[in-house]
Amino acid sequence: ARAITNASWSKLVSILQYKCDWYGKKLIQVNPAYTSQICINCGKGNHRLGLDKSEWLDVREWDCPNCGTHLDRDINAAQVILKKGLATQ
Which of the two residues, 52 and 84, has the higher pLDDT score? Answer: 84
Q: How confident is the model at residue 2 (pLDDT cuts 50, 70, 90)?
A: low
Which of the two residues, 48 and 12, has the higher pLDDT score? Answer: 12
Does 40 have pLDDT greater than 70?
yes
Alpha-carbon distance values, 73 to 11, 24, 39 (Å): 28, 33, 9
What 3-state class would DSSP assign to 45? strand
Which of the two residues, 1 and 48, has the higher pLDDT score? Answer: 48
Does 77 have pLDDT greater than 90?
yes
Q: What is the pTM of this model?
A: 0.79
What 3-state class would DSSP assign to 62? strand
